[in-house]
Amino acid sequence: MNTRSRLLPKITLATFAMGLFAVTAVQAQQVPVPPKMVPEMTEFWEPEPRVVTPGVAMAPPSDAIVLFDGKSLSQWKAKAGDGEASWPVKDGTFTVGKGDISTKREFGDFQLHIEWSAPDEVKGNSQGRGNSGIFLQDRYEVQVLDSYNNRTYSNGQAGSIYKQHRPLVNAMRKPTEWNVYDIIYTAPRFKEDGSLFSPARVTVLHNGVLIQNNVEVKGPTEYIGLPEYKPHGKAAISLQDHGNPVAYRNIWIREL
């Protein structure tokens, strides 16, 4: 084999390498260079949030559904059956009467504002003192209890998700003073086969103090036994008759 023949493979390999480099360089030149970031690139103008006029002091905002206007319980009914809610209404408030009551309307996710007062006359102790309850979707109780200087089991005091989550702190006002709950509720979701997809979650502010921080509800709040989810859709809000004359006022809700 002559010298020219021996050099041919090397020349071919070198030529190939140079060609590959040239193609790669051209491809690199064709890759688009992203534009320099400016503030407007991360500003989204649509959709624009709708306008809601906030209430003055504790008045409901403009898009709220008023569940108690201080005059009548027309938005409520007896929980057992379809009878009217018979709890006594006086001076802009109503007081726990005989039997639980429920809203006539049903709700899914919501923001609920509700004000309540323990009985002026302090009687009883632990769970026997100023006891009532707010049942979200008629199943999941935010406890109402006179927990002012009144020791009881922690996951049963005022502001607890009954027997599931104790409040972070005790923000209770003394008897004769009104308490305020602001409750943010996300309803549970269920799969087509009825199994749980995502649990209910609750945030509660008690007199402006965060006491439940987006906690996961484990199922219906049972007095005896462990919670277990069963599939359901929208449902009413219920107030409990526990035999104590707890008073309520200024109740409104915003569907989310």
- The CATH number of residue 88's host domain is 2.60.120.560
For residue 232, give the nearest of 217, 241, 219, 246 by alpha carbon: 219
Q: Can you tell me the distance from the alpha carbon of 96 to that of 110, in angstroms, rounded to the nearest whole number?
A: 24
pLDDT in the model for residue 8: 47
pLDDT (tens digit per residue) in 31-60? 888 889 888 887 677 887 888 687 777 789
For residue 132, give the nearest of 166, 164, 95 by alpha carbon: 95
For residue 179, give the nearest of 125, 119, 90, 233 by alpha carbon: 119
pLDDT in the model for residue 7: 46
The verdict on residue 58 lying in a domain is no
The verdict on residue 122 lying in a domain is yes
pLDDT (tens digit per residue) in 160-170? 999 999 999 99
Q: Find out whether 250 and 58 touch, Cβ atoms under 8 Å.
A: yes
Q: Can you tell me the distance from the alpha carbon of 191 to that of 174, in angstroms, rounded to the nearest whole number?
A: 44
Q: Find out whether 109 and 187 touch, Cβ atoms under 8 Å.
A: yes
Q: Can you tell me the distance from the alpha carbon of 255 to that of 108, in angstroms, rounded to the nearest whole number?
A: 7
The verdict on residue 57 lying in a domain is no
The verdict on residue 171 lying in a domain is yes
The verdict on residue 56 lying in a domain is no
Q: Can you tell me the distance from the alpha carbon of 85 to that of 68, in angstroms, rounded to the nearest whole number?
A: 12
Token pair listed for 219: 């199922």
Looking at the structure of the chain, the number of domains it has is 1
Strands (E), 76-218: 76-78, 89-90, 93-95, 101-103, 110-117, 132-136, 140-144, 179-186, 189-190, 196-198, 201-206, 209-216
pLDDT in the model for residue 26: 53
pTM listed for this prediction: 0.82
Mean pLDDT (10-residue bins), the chain, 256 residues: 49 54 57 86 78 77 96 95 92 96 98 95 89 97 94 93 95 92 98 97 96 98 95 98 95 98
Residue 142: domain span: 65-255
pLDDT in the model for residue 13: 52
The verdict on residue 121 lying in a domain is yes
Q: Give Cβ neighbours of residue 86 (< 8 Å, ≥ 6 apart).
A: 78, 97, 98, 99
Q: Can you tell me the distance from the alpha carbon of 41 to that of 82, in angstroms, rounded to the nearest whole number?
A: 56
The verdict on residue 22 lying in a domain is no
pLDDT in the model for residue 176: 87
The DSSP secondary-structure symbol of 152 reads -
The verdict on residue 116 lying in a domain is yes
pLDDT in the model for residue 253: 98
